[in-house]
Structures are given as C-alpha cells and as structure tokens.
Amino acid sequence: MKWIRIRSATTDDLDAIMALEESCFTLPWRREDLEIDIRENILSAYFVAETSGQVCGYAGMWMVCGECHIMTIAVAPGHRQAGIGAMLFMKLMDEARLRGANRYFLEVRMSNAPAIAMYEKFGFRRIDVRRAYYDDNGEDALIMCRDDTPV
C-alpha cells in the first residue's frame, strides 16, 4: 500500500477537489460553496488525502448545534478499496469529537452500496428516508446516524 497523508484542506486544493467532485458525483458541488467552506466557515472542517504529492481523496463535515453532519467524502476511482475512505472518515469523526460532537449524521443515495457499507462499518444506523431527494434522478436519500450520547 502507498503512503497516505491526511491533512487539512486549503483553498490551494480547490482544483484537485473539484476534479474529484466531477469524477465522483453526478451532482458536483459548486466551487464557490466549497471555497467559502474551506476558507471561512468556522463550523466546517475539510481534509484531503494525498499520495505522492497528489490529492486522491477528500472529505468534509459541518458542526451544527453540537452535532456532526458529514457533508461529503470521495476517493478518486483509481485509489478506491485501499483504506483511504476509511482514513478520511475516521479523521472527520475524530475532528468532530474534538469539537464536542457525540452524534453524527449523513445522507447517502439508496443505491450507493460501497458508501453505505463503509458507514455501517463505522457504526452508523439507517434512521430515515428522504423521498426523491436527488435532483438528477429522483433517487431517495437514506439518512444515517451514529449516536454516542452517554446514557
């Protein structure tokens, strides 16, 4: 396995992140929105995965009312199934935990079996469905949650 470095994203990574968005999603985020999140949104945290100096994955989250909302995660097609997604996901959750989160939420396309498998591996449960959530094909979104609230 290649050496992978996970680090905070900067606006210098935007070209690489947009390339990931285009290659990984049918509804890519707008560059302007990502730029605001990375540059000035104090509630967000974005990380990139690098190998041989090249960005091969990225992930981001928002803290909302003390809860972590996983906003995005993507690994370049040629680098998948090598543990990079899991590394990015753990980094997001660690950062959220440091910021006081003990509940984590995300939305994922119903058909996205690899992502759902990863989230379930990290203890996320299926809690609800948003019907016809995605504009491109009307697909439903699965809402998943991990709740570490002390009982």
Ligand X SMILES: CC(C)(COP(=O)(O)OP(=O)(O)OC[C@H]1O[C@@H](n2cnc3c(N)ncnc32)[C@H](O)[C@@H]1OP(=O)(O)O)[C@@H](O)C(=O)NCCC(=O)NCCS
- Choice between 21 and 63, CB closer to ligand X: 21
- Closest by CA to 92, choosing from 44, 150, 144, is 44
Nearest to 93 by CA among 67, 127, 64: 67
- The interaxial angle of helices 84-98 and 113-121, nearest 10 deg, is 50
- Closest chain position to ligand X (CB): 85
Write down the least CB distance from residue 99 to ligand X, Å: 21
Q: Are 10 and 55 in contact (CB under 8 A)?
A: no
In the complex, least distance from residue 34 CB atom to ligand X, rounded to whole angstroms: 15
Active-site residue, from 107, 133, 134, 139? 107
Residue whose pair of structure tokens reads 């469905």 in the numeric block: 129
Catalytic (active site) residue 119: yes
> Whole-number minimum distance, CB 89 to ligand X, in Å?
7
- Cβ atoms of 109 and 73 closer than 8 Å: no
List of residues contacting ligand X (CB under 6 A): 24, 73-75, 80-86, 108, 112-115, 117-118, 121
- Residue closer to ligand X by CB (options 82, 145) is 82
Does the annotation count 95 as an active-site position? no
**Residue carrying structure tokens 């009982």:** 151
Q: Which residues are catalytic?
A: 107, 119
